[in-house]
Amino acid sequence: MRIVIAGGGRVGSVLAARLVADQHTVTVIERDAGTCTRLFEEVGVVTVCGDATNPQALESAGIATADVAAGVLARDSENLAFAMLVRSMSPARVMVRMLDTSYREAYRLSGVKELVAEAEVVVAKMSTAIDFPEVAGSLPLAGGDALLFELAINPRAVVAGKTVAQVRAMEGFPRESLFIGVVDPEGSTVVPDGSTVLKAGHMVILVSRRSHLGQVVEFLTLEPATHASLTPLTLALRKVDFLAPLSDQELSAVAKGAEFLQRPAGSEIFKKGDPGESFFVVLAGEVRMLGDGGQLVGTITPGGFFGELALLTGEPRMATAVTGTACELALIGREDFRSVVMANPAVALEMSRILGQRLSRVQGVPAPSVKRKGLFGR
């Protein structure tokens, strides 16, 4: 494209260098002869030494055939005069750096639709950096209502290693926020799709409403809960072998959906042959597992669990569960459990593998020969 830039100061020089590097044809109009010489020698850009508010200087710069005219002069009054002259002499798109927002209406009346409000951009970037130090860079969009920003993926972040689709499906992620780029440590950028993995050390680029920025940053930087902050039920669930693939956050989600029960001694929790729609964790007391004829086949004490095989395989209960003493139990239902586990297919596969090993040990047969309905009986 043919581009004419009015002003060769700091912004004009950097803009010209970027456009030349992108293979555009650029001419800079600048009053200072020394600046013109420097731009020609260092940047390789064509310069016209003159006043960009003078029609003759614009003609010398080739404004009649320009595709874009950019005004980055030191004062809004000069940029406004440049814009009005360009519109009278050329069909070029006009864009202007606006220093004083009180000129906004004057620019509009002169036909300038593409304004870069420098103060608003700087204030928005600085206020974002102050409020959200995790944000590496930002750019206001849509008058400041939306924000384009960069954020590094911390190795300990919950989202590290998850795909874009998995992150967007997680509860709490603002649906109006979009991933538009992922930058690796070498600087290579890809446009992500649902299968793109958010790897630790990579930079993600997103667009979000400014009002949602805090929620997005908190979500993407959240680290797994430490064991010190986990509930007793979550800690008990951590001991369940087939739950080993779940993260602390996922275990906490399972525990959050639990129903707490109190049962006196001698209460039947379920009997052999009942459908398995839940499993239980003993928080206090003692539960006895009874086989045929009421024979005691096992005792579950605090921290232990029972009823999981029927839940996972979809087969009837293999024993009867009766409280030996007054008990406090946590009931984990099929749907609450399934909603957490099935959100991560890799976890579900690993749990199926562990379950197969357990069943082979329980039944005393090789794992490959065991045929079940599958995880959750589905």
Q: Specify the higher pLDDT residue, 1 or 129.
A: 1
270: its two tokens = 């379920």
Q: Which residues contact 54 (CB under 8 A, 6 or more apart)?
A: none
Can you tell me whether residue 113 is helix, strand or coil?
coil
Q: Mark out the alpha helices in the chain (DSSP H runs).
A: 10-21, 33-38, 55-60, 76-89, 104-109, 118-131, 164-169, 213-221, 232-238, 248-256, 308-313, 334-341, 345-363
With cut-offs at 50, 70 and 90, classify the pLDDT of residue 365. very low
Q: What is the largest CA-CA distance in the chain?
A: 108
Average pLDDT, the chain: 83
Mind listing the domains of the chain with CATH numbers? 2-120 (3.40.50.720), 132-221 (3.30.70.1450), 228-377 (2.60.120.10)
Q: How far is CA 349 from the centre of its chain?
A: 25
CA distances to 44, 60, 70, 98, 107 from 57, rounded to whole Å, are 19, 5, 15, 22, 21
Contact 60, 47 (CB under 8 A): no
The predicted structure's pLDDT at residue 373? 39
Q: At what angle do helices 334-341 and 248-256 cross, to 10 degrees?
A: 160
- At 228-251, the pLDDT tens digits run 445 677 777 777 766 777 777 777
Q: 361 falls in which pLDDT band (50, 70, 90)?
A: low
Segment 124-147 shows an average pLDDT of: 79
